[in-house]
Amino acid sequence: MLVRINDNIVLVGTAHISRESVEEVKNVIREYRPDIVAVELCSRRYRALTEKDAWENTPVTSLLKSSNAYLILAQTILSSIQRKLGKEYGVEPGSEMIAAIREAEEMGLEVALVDRDISVTLKRAWRKMGVREKFRLTWEFLKAVFGISEEELERIDLKELMNQDVISAMMKEFSEIAPSAASVLIDERDRYIAKKIFDESKKGRVVAVVGAGHIDGIKKCLETEEMDVDLNELEMVPRKRFNLMKTLAYAVPIIFFSLLTYIVLFGNWERAAEAFLWWILINGGLSAAGAAVARAHPLSIATAFVAAPFTSLNPAVAAGWFAGLVEAKLRTPMVKDIRSLSRIDNLHDMFNNKFIRLLMVVALANLGSMIGTFVALPYIISLGLL
Residue ranges of the chain whose pLDDT lies below 70: 16-18, 52-93, 138, 140-175, 225-226, 240-246, 267, 335-336, 338-351, 384-386
Q: For the chain, what percentages of helix, strand and coil (3-state, to nearest 5) are there?
A: 70, 5, 20
* pLDDT at res. 66: 47
pLDDT digit string (tens) for 57-69? 666 665 554 444 4
The amino acid at residue 213 is G
Nearest to 81 by CA among 310, 344, 273: 344
Residue 205 CA to residue 9 CA, distance in Å, equals 6
* pLDDT at res. 139: 72
Q: Residue 24 burial by CB count (10 A; 0-12/13-18/19+): exposed, middle or buried?
A: buried
Per the CB < 8 A criterion, the answer to whether 137 and 181 are in contact is: yes
* pLDDT at res. 280: 93
Instruction: Give Rg (Cα) of the chain.
Output: 25
* pLDDT at res. 63: 53
> Considering the entire predicted model, what is its pTM?
0.64
3-state secondary structure of 333: coil
